[in-house]
Amino acid sequence: MASCSEMKVGEVYVCEDCGLELQVLKSCADSEARACSCSEPLSCCGEQLVLKQ
Ligand SMILES: [Zn+2]
């Protein structure tokens, strides 16, 4: 779900297990290199991070 290529600036992603929250300050889509080659979603505690509503 929360693969970094889908993350947009300003979004906050949370780990529902430990409560970690990450805010996107810059997305890889904005990068000039556009060199993102992630195939795995970002995860914490073994679970995918989810978009905070
Ligand atoms: Zn966690």
Residues of the chain with confidence (pLDDT) below 50: none
Mean pLDDT, the chain, whole residue set? 87
Q: How far is the CA of 32 from the centre of ligand 1 (A)?
A: 30
Q: How far is the CA of 48 from the centre of ligand 1 (A)?
A: 9
Give the model's pLDDT for residue 34.
64
Instruction: Select from 18, 13, 16 the least CA-distant residue to 1.
Output: 13
Q: What is the reported pTM?
A: 0.80
Give the model's pLDDT for residue 46.
94
Give the model's pLDDT for residue 52.
94
Q: How far is the CA of 26 from the centre of ligand 1 (A)?
A: 21
Instruction: Select from 50, 52, 53, 47 the least CA-distant residue to 2.
Output: 50
Give the model's pLDDT for residue 29.
76
Q: How far is the CA of 5 from the centre of ligand 1 (A)?
A: 20
C-alpha to C-alpha distance for 50 and 53, rounded to whole angstroms: 9
The protein residues having their C-beta less than 5 angstroms from ligand 1 (an ion) are: 15, 17-18, 20, 44-45
Instruction: Select from 46, 28, 47 the least CA-distant residue to 38.
Output: 28
- Total number of residues shown for the chain: 53
